[in-house]
Amino acid sequence: MKPLRPQIAQLQPSLIREVANAGIGRSDVLAFWFGESDEISPIKVRQAAIDSLQAGETFYAHNLGLPPLREAVARYTQDQHGQTCGVTAQRIAVTSGGVSALMLAMQAILGVGDECLVVTPIWPNLLAQPQILGARVRTHSLRPFNGLWQLDLKALLADITPETRLLVLNAPNNPTGWHLTHDEQLAILSRCRETGTWILADEVYERLYYGGTRCAPSFLDLTRPDDAVMVAHSFSKSFLMTGWRLGWLVVPESMLDAMGKLIEFKTSCAPVFVQRAAMAALARQDEITPPLVRHLQNCRDTLVPLLQAIEGVEAASAAAGMYVFFRLPGHEDGLLTAKRLVSEAGLGLAPGEAFGPEAAGWLRWCFASRDLSRLHEGAKRLQSWLRGA
Ligand SMILES: Cc1ncc(COP(=O)(O)O)c(C=O)c1O
């Protein structure tokens, strides 16, 4: 038997899974390890999928997504970023989840040995995907300051060179809640224009923003339609649709045909009934997303003070996302701590090590919980564990 490609053989399994596998299915474990809300998708979204199936929509469809869904996504994008953002349906590819949007974008740009610069800490898939393609991954690290992670813009700009074929950024960020400002985005954009570097901006958390505007600063507020920028999005987080596996990618119009070919050879198309559900979600976005964001802000504002009140916890409140990323000084091995918390305290968190070596010792707590009492109970378990540890 010939061996697997080394890039696949060497892939790191998910450290979040390593912790979760130790406690999944145990009714005594309060789980906050995965990045999703425990709220079921809205009934009208589910009904749209049922109606589609009842109507017999069980066939292959367009590679790039149903035209009315692509139109609806373009209108939604213009609602968020203004008509001047120039995003039309001719720039939208509907994909099987945000994760697929990201992989397709990378497949279009990265070949074996190409340099891909990734700003970390970051959701682990964004480091694994370029590795799978055989790209040369370099990381640029954010730095923690008073419990929140910050970008050294000058250092990042210096790290982007003509060798850098793709820059990958996830802002608002999973796990840290860090986000970019428009000034930073402009500086990055102009540096990438100079070096000929593509930007892949993962903005799936743009609506989970507590900074006073409807969404976090986006590259789409600033880019020209022909800029070498791709923006990945998802129905998972803002529309409570993680299990449906639907996302989209905004690309320059000149790239759309290539995306259609890539989708044909990967998944061919997203299921029609799922796309109908997504159309229902977009049509009712004002009933779904703003209440969700208000609830998530409430979750954050419940959990952070609970954690800050515990002796031995260093936690801060980030302006975006659905995570508290925090430290327990004196417990510097996050993987070990996360495993011990599962077995000794019945508390399921994700280890910082999963998101990059600079985050060793940190822990990620997804606060998207319908029932706030779960957050109270989780904080209580952490406090008793720390007292006994
Ligand atoms: C930063 C980031 N990007 C993309 C995704 C992918 O979302 P999905 O594939 O569910 O659309 C996630 C999911 O956790 C994420 O955290």
Judged against a pLDDT cut of 90, whether residue 321 lies above it is answered with yes
pLDDT tier for residue 168 given thresholds of 50, 70 and 90 = very high
pLDDT of residue 191: 98
User: Do 14 and 58 sit in the same domain of this protein?
Assistant: no
- Check pocket membership of 247 for ligand 1, CB cut-off 6 A: yes
Residue pair 339/19 in contact (Cβ under 8 Å)? The answer is yes
**Arithmetic mean of pLDDT, 363-373:** 97
198 and 254 both lie in a single domain: yes
In a domain, 1, yes or no: no
Tell me: do 304 and 220 sit in the same domain: no
- For residue 161, the enclosing domain spans 43-284
pLDDT tens for 237-280 read 999 999 999 999 999 999 999 999 999 999 999 999 999 999 99
User: Looking at the structure, do residues 201 and 302 belong to the same domain, yes or no?
Assistant: no
Identify whether residues 272 and 291 lie together within a single domain.
Answer: no
Return mean pLDDT, the chain: 96
Instruction: Kindly state the tokens that stand for 370.
Output: 């319908």
- Report whether residue 98 contacts ligand 1, using a CB cutoff of 6 Å: yes
Assess if residue 358 is contained within a domain.
Answer: yes
> Does some domain include residue 168?
yes
The pLDDT score that the predictor gives to residue 5 is 95
Q: Is 129 touching ligand 1 by the criterion CB < 6 Å?
A: no
Q: Do 256 and 298 reside in the same domain of the chain? A: no
Give tens-digit pLDDT for 336-359: 999 999 999 999 999 999 999 999
Residues 47 and 104 in one domain: yes
Model pTM?
0.97
Indicate if 270 and 297 belong to the same structural domain. no
CATH number of the domain at 55, please. 3.40.640.10
> Is pLDDT above 90 for 24?
no
234 Cβ inside 6 Å of ligand 1: yes
Residue 173, ligand 1, Cβ within 6 A:
no
**pLDDT for position 236:** 98
Give the C-alpha separation, 299 to 265, whole Å. 41
Residue with tokens 């003509």: 162
Give the sign of the dihedral formed by CA 272, CA 274, CA 278, CA 283.
positive
Structural domain ending residue among the three candidates 284, 309, 325:
284
Interval between CA 323 and ligand 1 midpoint (Å): 13
Q: Indicate which atom in ligand 1 lies nearest the CA of residue 170.
A: 1
pLDDT tier for residue 223 given thresholds of 50, 70 and 90: very high
Q: Quick one: 90 and 159 in the same domain?
A: yes
Percentage of residues of the chain with pLDDT beyond 70: 100
Residues 367 and 243 in one domain: no
Angle at 110 between CA 105 and CA 113, to 5 degrees: 160
Closest atom of ligand 1 to 202 CA is 3
Helices 67-81 & 272-283 angle (0-180, nearest 10): 30
Ligand 1 center to 95 CA (angstroms): 12
- In a domain? residue 88: yes
pLDDT at 330 over 80: yes
Name the domain boundary from 266, 284, 302: 284
123 alpha carbon to ligand 1 midpoint, in Å? 8
Q: Answer yes or no: do 50 and 162 share one domain.
A: yes
Q: Which atom of ligand 1 is nearest to the CA of 102?
A: 4
Of 264, 284, 304, the residue that ends a domain is 284
Q: Is the dihedral of CA 358, 361, 362, 365 positive or negative?
A: positive
φ, ψ dihedrals at 305, nearest 5°:
-60, -35
Q: How many domains does the chain have?
A: 2
